[in-house]
Structures are given as structure tokens and as C-alpha cells.
Amino acid sequence: MNEIQLKYGCNPNQKPSRIFMENGGDLPVTVLNGKPGYINFLDAFNGWQLVSELKKATGLPAAASFKHVSPAGAAVGLPLTETLEKIYWVDDLGELSPLACAYARARGADRMSSFGDFIALSDECDADTARLIKREVSDGVIAPGYTPEALEMLKAKKKGAYNVIQIDPAYRPDPIERKQVFGITFEQGRNELDIDGELLSRFVTQRKEVPESALIDMKIALITLKYTQSNSVCYVKDGQAIGIGAGQQSRIHCTRLAGQKADNWWLRQSPQVLGLSFVDGLGRADRDNAIDVYMGDEYEDVLAEGVWQTRFKVKPPVFTREEKRAWLDKLTGVTLGSDAFFPFSDNIERAHKSGVAYVAQPGGSVRDDAVIECCDKYGMAMVFTGIRLFHH
């Protein structure tokens, strides 16, 4: 098949809509269930490229959670700690496969943004992963294959309307890519740059020795940024993106946005949040919302309004700014990646507040010396990759 008709384009008024192969060949994807839309396929194809590269770079199964053509989360399949199992709401599922761990991490880092995501998996979807997907609010999934049990579970999701796409892992696109804007065709060579160890060898700070885990996290950060709408910044820890700032016009706003998401990920692991007692029957998404409100500065106002009774069994004490800062100070060993150079050292100052110890960025700013000096002040290791990763 070289064409798939879509219900509509980005918006309902944009008709007709389809995906097709201009060369007349067959599409590398098969829709096994549902009717994916225009944005679904954009998320699916970007997500597939991301997880394929993560698998190639790390040798581990990988997963991504996409929303509006940028990843809300991306991760490789490392085992989950008991705490991560609890904050990702998977502690009732028993031991998970590596692929399911990857998706739990990708979905769990920023659960607010991942709500209604499109999933990309690097490996054949197994029953563990399908069982996890089935219980979350999601639009669809793309993978190179599905076990019979997994496919049966996914086909039953959303009353049989869940989008399940299978992609040919051997497919390789043409080296030249084109798209139209305002009736005008743009053409460029595909970004086939490999994110490998060679790019991570030019350390420009006083600190030059980093653990192997940090080099892996640098790869994850840069590969994630390669498929994130620019400007973009990505915080990574222990094999997963914990904060992604996408599509901002200012680099410092990317750094702040991603840093706030990384902070929220860490605050969810605090004793104050882990100790929350939710009312019976409160769903995972409502629990996520309740936690987000609890961690916010406006929670005292919510307490005054008495809204807490609809969410918690017991009235939780206010999580003070001082308590939050004390807990955030325990976050260490975070890696920060940027798709373009940092023009000012304020980005490093903000990154430091979220436990960043390792930085990967292209370099090339007229203020590189100030950025390096700021890293040295905090004992960070920074590598200049010499390559930019803009994606639009």
C-alpha cells in the first residue's frame, strides 16, 4: 500500500488529508488497528526515529511518549526502583520487562504532558508493555511488531478504536527530504548525524572525567533533542529524560521550563508526596493533577477553599518552599543537553538548581568563556559537540 487516507489534517477543516509515497513504492507502515490521524503519524514517525537511535546508541530497549511532535518523555529500559514504581503508578504490576520499564519511565517523567500521548517502542511490544499501555490515556503506538497477546490487548483499548501501527524496521528513507510550506517546496539533506562517543570527547571545563552513565545520559539527551521542536533543552538522569523544554524562542526559557519539569519529577519522590493518601477511587490522572496542585505554590489557597477533601483522605500539610528547596538540593548527577549553544551563563545557573553536573552543547557562542567559567564554579563537566540539532 502506498497511500493511507486520513480523517483530516492538523485540524478538522484541513481536508483532504493522506500520507503516501511520492515514488509510488509501498509505505513502510501497516495500520493494525484504529484510524491514525495526521498528527498521530507525525508523532509516530518522529518517535520511531528517536527510539531507534536510542536503541542503536545504548543497546537497550527504548520508548518515547510524544505529544504534538515533541517528546514529553524518552527513556531506555533500565530497571525501576521501588520509588519510581510508586510515582509512575506501576507498583501493582509486578516485575516488568525492559521494554515496559522504558515506557514506564518515558510516560512517568512528565505525566501531565504525556496524557493522551502517542507511543514509540524500539522493540516488539510484549504483554507487559501492552498491559501498561492499556491502562493509560493514549492515542496510539508504533512498534516494529507485537506479540499476539499484546496485540489482542491493544486492539481492545478505547472500545476497539486504539491506533496500532507496525513499522518495517528495515525501512530507510531517501537521503533528501522535502516538505511544502505555503505552496513552496523546501528541500534538505536528512539529519543522519550519529550521536556517538566521538561527539562527546571535547571537554572544555576543568572537570573532564565523567562516569560512563553520564556519557549514556548525554547521548540520550542529544538524541531526544534531535527530534524535539527547537529551541529545546533536555535534562536526563539514570537513562531517562526527566525534563524537556521544547519550542521556546529563548534558550533560558527552555532551560527554565525543562528544569521545572525535572524539579517536579524529583519532588514527586519526596516523603511529603509519597506520603499523600488519596480518596478511594481517584484515578491515576486525577492523582497526577492532585500532586501537581499540592506541589504548586498556590496549594495554601486550595487548602483554604477546602478542595482537598475531594482528593485526599487526610488534609496534607503545606509543602513549604523551604522544604521543597531542601529536597531539591538532594538531586545530583543530572545531565543537561542543548540543541544549540548557551548564549549566557544564566542557563548554567538555572541548571545548577536542578542538580546538573554534566553538560553537552554545541559551543560557539561569543560568551563561551563565561559559560565555561560558570560550569567550573559549580564543578560541572561540559563537552562541546560542535554540532547543532535544530528540528522543525
**Residues 371 and 344 sit within 8 Å (Cβ to Cβ):** yes
Least confident of 37-46, 305-314, 319-328: 305-314
State residue 304's pLDDT score.
64
What's the pLDDT band for 55 if we cut at 50, 70, 90?
very high
Residues 303 and 380 in one domain: no
Taking residues 25-30, report their average pLDDT: 94
Q: Identify the CA nearest to 242 among candidates 49, 108, 67, 81.
A: 108
Domain for residue 40, yes or no? yes
Same domain, 118 and 209: no
Which residue carries 565523567 as its cell? Answer: 210
End residue of a domain, out of 100, 132, 167:
167
Residue 172 lies in a domain: no
Across 330-350, average pLDDT: 96
Over residues 165-183, the pLDDT tens digits come to: 999 999 999 999 999 999 9
Burial degree of 277 (CB within 10 A; 0-12, 13-18, 19+):
exposed
Residue 179 lies in a domain: no
Which residue in the list 55, 67, 157, 352 is annotated as catalytic? 67
Does 136 lie in the same domain as 108? yes
Query: Do residue 72 and residue 48 come from a single domain?
Result: yes
pLDDT in tens, 225-252: 999 999 999 999 999 999 999 999 999 9
**Antiparallel, parallel or unpaired: β 29-33 and 163-167:** antiparallel
**Could you say which of 150, 167, 184 is where a domain stops?**
167
Tell me whether residue 188 is in a domain: no
pLDDT of residue 303: 67
Same domain, 14 and 108: yes
Q: Please determine, for residue 301, whether its predicted confidence score (pLDDT) is greater than 90.
A: no
In a domain, 54, yes or no: yes
pTM for the whole thing?
A: 0.95
Count of domains observed in the chain: 3
Residue 374: pLDDT above 80? yes
Residue 391 falls inside a structural domain: no
For residue 389, tell me if it sits in a domain: no
257 and 159 assigned to the same domain: no
Percent of the chain scored above 70 by pLDDT?
99
What average pLDDT does the segment 44-56 reach? 97
Query: What pLDDT shows up at residue 87?
Result: 96
Helix, strand, coil shares, percent, the chain, to 5? 40, 20, 40
**Residue of 33, 40, 231, 347 marked active site:** 231
pLDDT tier at 307 (50, 70, 90 boundaries)? confident
The residue from 56, 68, 86, 324 that is catalytic is: 68
For the chain, list the strands marked E by DSSP. 3-5, 18-20, 29-33, 62-67, 70-76, 117-121, 138-143, 163-167, 176-181, 184-189, 232-237, 240-246, 334-338, 356-361, 381-384
> Are 246 and 337 in the same domain?
yes
Q: Is 391 a catalytic residue?
A: no
Task: Let me know whether 111 and 8 are in one domain.
Answer: yes
Q: Are residues 212 and 112 in the same domain?
A: no
Same domain, 262 and 116: no
- The CATH number covering residue 200 comes to 3.40.140.20
Instruction: Calculate mean pLDDT across residues 383-390.
Output: 95
Determine the structural domain holding residue 362 and report its residue range.
194-267+328-384
Residues 120-146 pLDDT 10s: 999 999 999 999 999 999 999 999 999
The residue annotated as part of the active site, out of 13, 23, 159, 392, is 392
Which pLDDT does position 25 carry in this prediction? 87
User: What is the rounded average pLDDT of the residues 33-52?
Assistant: 97
Annotated catalytic, 67?
Answer: yes
Residue 91 shares a structural domain with residue 14 = yes
Looking at the fold, whether 204 and 117 belong to one and the same domain comes out as no
Q: Is 184 exposed, middle or buried (0-12, 13-18, 19+ CB in 10 A)?
A: exposed
Q: Give, in order, the Cα–Cα distances in Å from 266 to each of 114, 259, 329, 331, 348.
A: 17, 11, 10, 7, 19
Q: Evaluate whether residue 299 is within a structural domain.
A: yes
Average pLDDT rounded to a whole number, residues 84-102: 96
What does the pLDDT read at residue 315? 87
Direct distance between the N- and C-terminal alpha carbons of the chain, in angstroms, rounded to an integer: 28
